[in-house]
Amino acid sequence: MKIAILGFGTVGSGVYDIIANGDTRMRVTAIFIRPTHPATMPEMTTDLDAILNDPTIDVIVETMGGLHPAHDYILQALQHGKHVVTANKAVVAKYLPEFTAVAAQHHVQFYFEATTGGGIPWIRNLERAARIDQIDTIEGIFNGTSNYILDQMQRAHLDFDPVLLAAKDMGYAEADPSADIDGEDVVNKLKISAALAYNMAPPRDVPTFGIRNVSKADIDFFASQHQVLRLIGKSKRDGDHYSMVVEPRLYSETALAANTFENFNLIRLHGQTIGDLQFYGQGAGKYPTANAIVQDLYDILENAPHLDRSFDQPLHFDANLNVTDYVLRADPMTFAMFNDRETEIVNDRLVIKQIPTGNMHKLMRGVLAIDADAFMAAIGDSELAAKDVLHQRDQEVIG
């Protein structure tokens, strides 16, 4: 099987390394680079048309990232009868139904395991579960960069800015880390996951609040309450309604999520017959992501089809499907916005009881208009806290 790689950055070079040192049934014969990139290898070319029109190339691996020109390149590759494998979560989250339809029209495959969960085999196992079950919950730590930042702030007692700088130095964060710390990266991964789980086109807008405003004082306060902060993506389905949200969430220090350290991910699904399945592993990095791409290449090589989805299930998005407690750190003058809610003040922070998620995010936009440094977090109530139950049982046995 002959392969062309579009883009030769961190992930693209990782794919090349694995193939070059692995199965001889695969070979990279072309690497597309931009004109500004020096051609340092004989496979490198700036001529995309030559790749598309080469009948010997079976698969195109897209690792350029971003929406454009990736969208056009992927469509052209599929239309030229070539399988496509990508790690580009942004373009897949926006155009997944289109890519899948075009691939089917031209009798080729479009695979994207590497978009979500890094080296974790999340997409493949989500597809397997969805073949049998109705999936009603997807939830987890989807972003290794944000998890590394929150973990280091908690365990090393550091401020946000130096930890972010360290994340950049280690290659976890990009020069512009906005997608990671503002939650957009998690939104894309959650959209892809929900689209597969529910067989529907995801919504354009998802309630999102990131970790840009979290402070050491926040982390220290949560620690004093035996709570650990994580950035979580969550989707829930109830009949023909579903919700999606990305937000910081607090967990007991004994919870599984609280014990997911460094740049690791922890993602869970719940199905009617399978119950809970949880997946843990490296959420980012050159070789974990490249490994996921090569797994897709093997599926193409060995003719192992993935779940066939039409993404046409008529579900209704409901931002208020979830109701939970929130803690808010902001200028006290903003607390009046919540006068119609049951609240209490704890250490100068407002705890809002049982408020619908969509309403809280809408009110938070008003809070930020007054206090641009305000921060909020949901209070965990999920199965990612399952370790708490075991801890309680241990204590009962000991007692």
Residue 236 to residues 197, 233, 279, Cα–Cα distance (Å): 10, 10, 18
- The yes-or-no answer on residue 189 being catalytic is yes
Catalytic residue among 189, 191, 234, 236: 189
* Positions marked catalytic: 189
